Copies of this chain bind each other. A is one copy, B any other.
Amino acid sequence: MQHSRNSMARRKTESTTQILSTLKAASSAMSHQMIQEELDIEVDRATIYRVLNRFCEDGMVHRVIGENGKQYFALCEGCEKENHSHNHFHFRCKNCGKVECLSREIEIKLPAGYVAQNFNGLISGVCAQCA
């Protein structure tokens, strides 16, 4: 079978399915560590990152950068299809560590000539459960 140009088909493995279902089950964005702890099987840190990066490339998952500089991953909910914009904010609770989506979409106008490739909006503080 011929693949277009950079012929790379994704394979289904124990790791990928488990990580995917972990993300599906999660109510919030997860760090690699949270994912690792949640898995039924042992998966290497490097592998988890590679799987998550692949998911991001494929547009199944989006990456959020916390105010702590760390990466969090969450399934794309409403932007699976053509409109793959992640222009919404996230909220990270500094107490319980939960990272939630804030539904409101934001439109930011850039100065002329600027090209946007990535959007990362995050508010951190204390969530209602922890307040």
Contacts and interface: CB of A to CB of B under 8 A. Distances in A.
B108 A102 contact: yes
Number of copies: 2
A55 interface: no
Contact of A112 (B70, B104, B128): B128
Contacts of A112: 128
Contact of A131 (B113, B121, B128): B113
A106 interface: yes
Contact of A118 (B69, B109, B116, B125): B125
B120 A120 contact: yes
Interface size class of A (residues with CB under 8 A): 20 to 34
A104 B114 contact: no
Contact of A123 (B71, B104, B116, B127): B116
A65 to B, nearest CB: 6
Contact of A108 (B71, B104, B127): B104
Interface in A77-116: 89, 91, 94, 102, 104, 106, 108-116
A18 B115 CA distance: 34
A36 interface: no
B117 A126 contact: yes
